[in-house]
A and B are shown apart, each in its own frame.
Chain A
Amino acid sequence: MISSGMRLFSSAHRYGSVRTCVVSISFLFVVLVGIPSSLFPSAAAYETNLGVLVRQAQRAAVKVYGAGGGGLVAYQSGFLVSPSGHVATAWSYVLDVEPVVVLDDGRRFNATIVGFEPKLELAVLKIEADELPYLELAAEISELAEPILAVSNLFGIASGDEPASVMQGTVSSITRLDARRGIFKTPYTGTVLILDLVANNPGAAGGAVVASDGRAIGMLGKELRDASAGVWLNYALPSSALREAIGNIVAGRAVVTTEPETPMLPRDQSHHPDTLGMSLIPNVLENTPAFVDRVIPASAAARADVRADDLVLLVGNVRIDSQRTLIDSLRRIDRRDSVVMTLQRGVQIVSVTLMP
């Protein structure tokens, strides 16, 4: 096990509770039952032997180790999406520290977070390696009843060079969760694949859902529980939703960084949370999250509708992992320029522009 940082703040603590009608998972089956016109995939799929498919999926699967503690496991799953070491994984607290990625062959790498898309709960990591096995992401939306394999390191069962766990099942429903907002606490509002296997266990988030043609049709999401019924959801984010974001990050078009290249400006020429009108929660930790405590009326923050309890995720393309990086990145923006921020508000991701 990798030594892990302790997560002291969880953004989940700050989620408001939203009351919605009770909808059980089984309801989804009823709504979506039916036979799609084309039940069977292409001929190529039939040539895929299950054993070959399993190994192919396992070889592209990785274990991600990072922050945890206090009942939160310090590991999750991911899968290689490029031969040059790009790893798709879930955007979660595990990535609060620089993660370590362990490949199927047991090789261990320090990874950097090269991109993340909070609305998709997606992060892309990069390791320095070449000619790696990877999974191609399917462009089209999956089909109902599509048989799948889920590959992940759920429960952290595998360690070192031990291969990831493989489970089988089908896509039992394709639906949206946003109609039930508040029931499932996630910022993701798009279509999800509901799976008929118990795939979304601790440590499974970021795992690959692989179709019979060997392509990834989805990524296992973080554990979600129906807040009113207590039912745990087994689901994946479809590759069709992730593909563009991952493609942009891999191509270097949407890279985030924690080390801005622009120079530091003198204090009286740059921004600061206080000058923008947002005071943060007391900075008592080495890495205190950049939660907004209070917004000064009529300030730039107030005009942009920044609210108390918002968590700052990005300033421009700079990933904010603590109050320190927020203050540091604001020091590099001229006081006369506007500031673009990505905030997490409860389960929502909002983008705001603060005009001085």
Chain B
Amino acid sequence: MMSIDIKPTFFQPLLIARAAFLLATFLPAANITLADDPAAASTLVTTRADGEVTAELDPRLEEAERRRIAAVERALPATVSIFVPGGGGGGSGVLISPDGYALTNFHVSSPAGNYMRCGLSDGRIYDAVIIGIDPVGDLALIRLLGRNDFPYAEMADSRKAQVGHWCLVIGNPFLLATNLQPTVTWGILSGVGRYQYPSGTLLEYADCLQTDASINPGNSGGPLFDDSGRLLGIVGRASFEKRGRVNVGVGYAISINQAKNFLGDFHSGRILDHATLGATVATDPDGGARVSNILDSSDAYRRGLRYGHTVVEIDGRSVNTANEVQNVLATLPPQWRVPLVYMDRGQRKSTLVRLANLHGSDELLAKMAAALPPPPPAPEPPKEPDSQDNHSGQQDNDNGDEAKPDGDKKLLPKPRQPRGGDGGVKNVEIPPAVAAVFEARRGFANYFPNRIKQQEMLVNLRGQFPTWHADATAGAAQQPASPVWKIEGKTVNDQSLAVRLVISDDAFEMTMGDKTITATSRSELYDAISSTNVSGILACLDAWRSLLLRGTDGFGECFYRGQVPLLGQRPLLDCLIGVSGELEATWLVHPESTALEAIEMTADRDDDPAELHITWSDDRSQHPTHLELRYGTSSVLKLTIDAWEITAKGEAK
């Protein structure tokens, strides 16, 4: 039995009784057995002669209370109190990795722009830089600087959360945490899988969690934890109405599973968009999500989805209403390819669909700028020599401004020295440590992490086959100035045709059996992809060769997109994009093994790309064992590779 000595005030007997009672009746842990004897769970509150009030708790209540204390202790250190430098407001956040990555709301990070100050419950303040933003999903990834051993929250599976589960919200309501001690509130999940319509033009909360734990302004961006202190979601919205901007018992958190889906994309530093199926659905009065409209340019249309069909499953989740469809779609990043199951006149059909971007890139930037509150008035900063192309540091204004000159499309890097904050905090000095990891660029919240990731991926790709000097027959330790790839293999089918592929700078050749296809320009490769020809394999190999040979500079535009599933399957693969003329190349790399698993070549966004799937043996210094070319959901060519030679140009073999 635990004894609590408390001062005898008028309220405390009630409070103790209430806490004990709550726990006794709604025991948070389902595995605590409940006795038949009510007296066994009683709490004795006695008042001694000297006026001291003593309460003795039942061991089960004590245990439940201990669990709750443990959950708070576990969750508290990872909670971040965010303050906009210069007194421009703030909010909450939560650390998700020891190297300082933290999630918050877009609407918390956006007034701060590139740089914010973050307090942890250990009483220390850290500088943080913006990494990636998602204005539609209202999430942002920031990075706290200065440590590699930050406390961080363990992520739960928010799909498993159920109504009635106890939960806790920790954060910085009303910016009370000026002493860096966040506020803890406790409640239950009032609803799961909630869909909340877009507020304004952009922000949409889908598949979110609803709680009655107190949520007030300033809790935004902060964590919602389960009853053992694992991260369930990011708090961001409440039903504020006529009672003013205070808790009304209804707060919403973006599910952590949504954040997990977007995490790879956040690390790209991009301004993220959301996805669309290219079709709208309506809840049928007889049940089911029926297609009410579909774009014939959408991948869903190419995969056979039509008006009147009923969507029954997306990404492995069953859907019965329009809200449920949107609940799934709005939590998936665009360009993801996910399994789709639909009913076509009573027939169940399974396929894979590639989700499209919800917005055009200019449209997203314009909407984002429009959705933000106008910056508070502030004195103009003193004019500096570079001030004409270095806008206010606020991301959204930044991009809004930059949207004007069309000549800026090539994404020329901005000057490296950023300027902090928005209108209200224009004069805030950006610390050098933050400036060193920030790089402004149109379409990006911070280009710096993207550049680092591109370099890292390139190094990894060059470190595996085909490494130039690994080709002993070339007799040189150095790479040929213009290497030629000669690949020999056989088709994997009954015919077992011999196939020979030759890739050089300006000549592409494919021989299969007794037929030879040659191309001398990339526009011919473009046509091969458009006509879903087997020679599309040449385009994929050409892109691979170009990347290894010339690096990311060999493309007009090159960037790390984030992570996507391959053929609708996990794990998510790192995704590098290179655009060259009208062709867009995508390299898909396993994040842990760094194996190149596929190359996709997109000729026209409205057509299926050519996909080259690569199978390796365990030794990736040796050539791949198989190559497979796919368009849409069909395989058009499957090869066993016998030889893969790299020679200098013109060298006869």
Q: Select from chain A the residue with minimum beta-carbon distance to B26.
A: A50
Stretch at the interface among A160-168, A291-299, A346-354: A160-168
Q: Residue among A43, A50, A53, A145 with the most chain B CB within 10 A?
A: A50
Q: Is the CB of B210 within 8 A of A165?
A: yes
**CB under 8 Å from chain A, chain B span 276-326:** 283, 287, 320-321, 323
Stretch at the interface among B15-23, B91-99, B421-429, B548-556: B15-23
Q: Is the CB of B212 within 8 A of A212?
A: no
Rounded to whole angstroms, the CA-CA distance of A34 and B283 in the bound complex is: 52
Q: Give which listed residue, B11, B36, B188, B193, contacts A162 with CB less than 8 A.
A: B193
Rounded to whole angstroms, the CA-CA distance of A18 and B570 in the bound complex is: 66
Which residues on A sit within 8 Å (CB–CB) of B14? 33-35, 145
**A 159-187 binary contact with B (CB < 8 Å = 1; else 0):** 11111011111100000000000000000
**CB under 8 Å from chain A, chain B span 222-258:** 239, 241, 243, 247-250
Q: Is the CB of B36 within 8 A of A197?
A: no
Which residues on B sit within 8 Å (CB–CB) of A29? 11
A-B contact count, CB below 8 Å?
140
Rounded to whole angstroms, the CA-CA distance of A29 and B25 in the bound complex is: 22
Which residues on B sit within 8 Å (CB–CB) of A166? 163-164, 188, 190-191, 212
Rounded to whole angstroms, the CA-CA distance of A50 and B165 in the bound complex is: 8
**CB under 8 Å from chain A, chain B span 191-242:** 191, 193-194, 196, 210, 212, 239, 241
Q: Is the CB of B164 within 8 A of A40?
A: no
Q: Is the CB of B45 within 8 A of A165?
A: no
How many chain B residues sit at the interface, stated as a range, is 35 or more
Nearest Cβ in chain A — how far from B195, in angstroms? 8
Which residues on A sit within 8 Å (CB–CB) of B247? 198
Rounded to whole angstroms, the CA-CA distance of A155 and B45 in the bound complex is: 40
Q: Give which listed residue, A39, A42, A162, contacts B21 with CB less than 8 A.
A: A39
Q: Select from chain B the residue with minimum beta-carbon distance to A231.
A: B243
Q: Is the CB of B163 within 8 A of A147?
A: no
Which residues on B sit within 8 Å (CB–CB) of A106? 287, 321
Q: Is the CB of A147 within 8 A of B26?
A: yes
Q: Select from chain A the residue with minimum beta-carbon distance to B242.
A: A202
Which residues on A sit within 8 Å (CB–CB) of B27? 50
Q: Is the CB of A40 within 8 A of B26?
A: no
Task: Known contacts A162-B193, A198-B248; decide if A168 and B187 are in contact (CB<8 Å).
Answer: yes
Which residues on A sit within 8 Å (CB–CB) of B187? 167-168
Nearest Cβ in chain A — how far from B495, in angstroms? 54
Task: Known contacts A33-B10, A33-B11, A201-B239; decide if A165 and B191 are in contact (CB<8 Å).
Answer: yes
Is B481 part of the contact surface with A, judged by Cβ < 8 Å? no
Q: Is the CB of B323 within 8 A of A160?
A: yes
Q: Select from chain A the residue with minimum beta-carbon distance to B247.
A: A198
Q: Select from chain A the residue with minimum beta-carbon distance to B190.
A: A165
**B 135-164 binary contact with A (CB < 8 Å = 1; else 0):** 000000000000000000000000000111
Is A199 part of the contact surface with B, judged by Cβ < 8 Å? yes
Which residues on B sit within 8 Å (CB–CB) of A198? 212, 247-250
Rounded to whole angstroms, the CA-CA distance of A166 and B188 in the bound complex is: 8
Is A109 part of the contact surface with B, judged by Cβ < 8 Å? no
Q: Is the CB of A202 within 8 A of B249?
A: no
Q: Select from chain A the residue with minimum beta-carbon distance to B192.
A: A163
Q: For chain B, what secondary structure do more than half of its interface residues adopt (helix, strand, loop), or is it mixed?
A: loop
**CB under 8 Å from chain B, chain A span 45-88:** 45-51, 53-55, 58
Q: Is the CB of B10 within 8 A of A30?
A: yes
Nearest Cβ in chain A — how far from B28, in angstroms? 8
Is A190 part of the contact surface with B, judged by Cβ < 8 Å? no
Is A158 part of the contact surface with B, judged by Cβ < 8 Å? yes
Which residues on A sit within 8 Å (CB–CB) of B38? 40-43, 45-46
Rounded to whole angstroms, the CA-CA distance of A163 and B250 in the bound complex is: 15
Q: Is the CB of B21 within 8 A of A147?
A: yes
Q: Is the CB of B323 within 8 A of A35?
A: no
**CB under 8 Å from chain B, chain A span 294-323:** none
Which residues on B sit within 8 Å (CB–CB) of A199? 249
Q: Select from chain B the residue with minimum beta-carbon distance to A211.
A: B25
Q: Select from chain B the residue with minimum beta-carbon distance to A154.
A: B250
Rounded to whole angstroms, the CA-CA distance of A154 and B24 in the bound complex is: 27
Q: Select from chain A the residue with minimum beta-carbon distance to B10.
A: A33
Rounded to whole angstroms, the CA-CA distance of A199 and B187 in the bound complex is: 13
Q: Is the CB of B18 within 8 A of A170?
A: yes
Which residues on A sit within 8 Å (CB–CB) of B36? 43, 46-47
Q: Give which listed residue, A46, A159, A163, contacts B34 with CB less than 8 A.
A: A46
Q: Select from chain B the residue with minimum beta-carbon distance to A144.
A: B14
Q: Is the CB of B194 within 8 A of A157?
A: yes
Is A232 part of the contact surface with B, judged by Cβ < 8 Å? yes
Nearest Cβ in chain B — how far from A216, in angstroms? 16
Q: Is the CB of A46 within 8 A of B41?
A: yes
Q: Give which listed residue, B26, B28, B163, B249, contacts A201 with CB less than 8 A.
A: B249
Q: Give which listed residue, B13, B190, B239, contacts A167 with CB less than 8 A.
A: B190
Which A residues fall within an 8 A CB radius of B? 29-30, 33-35, 39-43, 45-51, 53-55, 58, 106, 145-147, 154-155, 157-163, 165-170, 197-199, 201-202, 212, 232
Nearest 9 pairs between A and B by C-beta? A198-B249, A54-B164, A167-B212, A212-B25, A46-B34, A165-B190, A50-B26, A155-B239, A51-B164
For the A-B complex with A147-B18, A197-B212 known, give 10 more contacts whose Cβ atoms are closer than 8 Å.
A35-B45, A39-B43, A47-B36, A53-B164, A145-B14, A157-B239, A167-B187, A167-B212, A170-B18, A212-B26
Listed A/B pairs (20) with beta-carbon separation below 8 Å: A34-B14, A43-B38, A46-B41, A48-B25, A50-B26, A50-B28, A53-B26, A54-B163, A145-B17, A146-B21, A147-B21, A147-B25, A162-B191, A162-B194, A166-B163, A167-B212, A170-B22, A198-B247, A201-B248, A201-B249
